[in-house]
Copies of this chain bind each other. A is one copy, B any other.
């Protein structure tokens, strides 16, 4: 593969090449990983506004992304949508329906939509998604939406790679009833109560007021301006409230950028990423380290047979890998 040519095409905004580049970084073959590292190093650094988005199934996430994304691309933005779905990660398949559910957005030349990578571990998905964000940014997208579903761990992961976090909720019902974990409420910068249309409009407005109060109590950070986090009503179906949501998000983003909060957050996220990369790299190397390959079948058999405790076997394996020096107290 011609990596410099790929980097050049991605940086030029070639969507087909961007898709191929993401496929490359999603591969776990060692040769592809090497090529992926070269590609990432060759690409320009153009940080976009990175927005994490979560919401439980049925809340209208796809419709929201379609409407919100269309508004942005029609205003001249270039929008990338990446999906992180831990359940699809588990079953090994990606979200196939995504593009068809975002029919107009996916066809717009200013938008790029990529379903969730099929990886066996959430950690693997995290690594690929971080790298995919960088690719989309290098390709000139100035807004990157990272979508996930409400199961706790994946939200934390997405919040660790984005600048702003949006939680989409349905009108009425408490957050518990909507299956939203308290921890997710705590990381949300903006709650959007969707379906503020037709019969549900009044309920949605009331729900917004409820959450606005709750959010300020929950939030402990004092790194945000007065009045944040916020809650607003939207109707993805009628495309109502989307401009207000964008104005609010942009204001918070600008404030954080001007106050240096954004730079500090991104630096901290990069260090977290480093730690995750070390863990992921260890896993990958463990699986093919010749020192372990020789040892593991025997250790496994003895542990399974009950003649060797698991912890003692693990010590043996680690000593073989790292040397005994590394665990002197």
Contacts from A to B (Cβ < 8 Å) = 29-31, 37, 40-41, 45, 130-131, 151-153, 179, 266-268, 270-271, 273-274, 276-286, 288-291, 299-300, 303-306, 309-315, 317-318, 321-322, 325-329
Given known A30-B329, A322-B285, contact A304–B271 (CB-CB < 8 A):
yes
A291: which B residues are within 8 A, CB to CB? 326
B37 x A289 contact (CB < 8 A): no
A303–B277 alpha-carbon span in the complex (Å): 12
A326: which B residues are within 8 A, CB to CB? 285, 288-291
Given known A306-B270, A322-B285, A329-B31, contact A277–B40 (CB-CB < 8 A):
no
Name A273's contact: one of B41, B282, B303 (CB within 8 Å).
B303
A321–B318 alpha-carbon span in the complex (Å): 12
> Would you mind naming 9 contact pairs between A and B with Cβ atoms under 8 Å apart?
A29-B329, A131-B311, A267-B304, A268-B304, A270-B304, A274-B314, A282-B286, A289-B322, A321-B322
A329–B130 alpha-carbon span in the complex (Å): 24
A276 to chain B, nearest CB (A): 8
A329: which B residues are within 8 A, CB to CB? 29-31
A328: which B residues are within 8 A, CB to CB? 30
Please name the residue on chain B nearest to A322 by beta carbon: B285
A41: which B residues are within 8 A, CB to CB? 309, 312
A315–B321 alpha-carbon span in the complex (Å): 16
Given known A278-B318, A285-B326, contact A310–B273 (CB-CB < 8 A):
yes
Name A274's contact: one of B130, B270, B274, B313 (CB within 8 Å).
B313
A266 to chain B, nearest CB (A): 8
A269 to chain B, nearest CB (A): 9
A48 to chain B, nearest CB (A): 15
B271 x A303 contact (CB < 8 A): yes
Beyond A37-B311, A274-B317, A277-B311: 11 further Cβ-contacts under 8 Å? Answer: A37-B309, A40-B309, A41-B309, A273-B303, A277-B313, A279-B283, A280-B314, A281-B327, A282-B282, A289-B322, A290-B326
A300 to chain B, nearest CB (A): 5
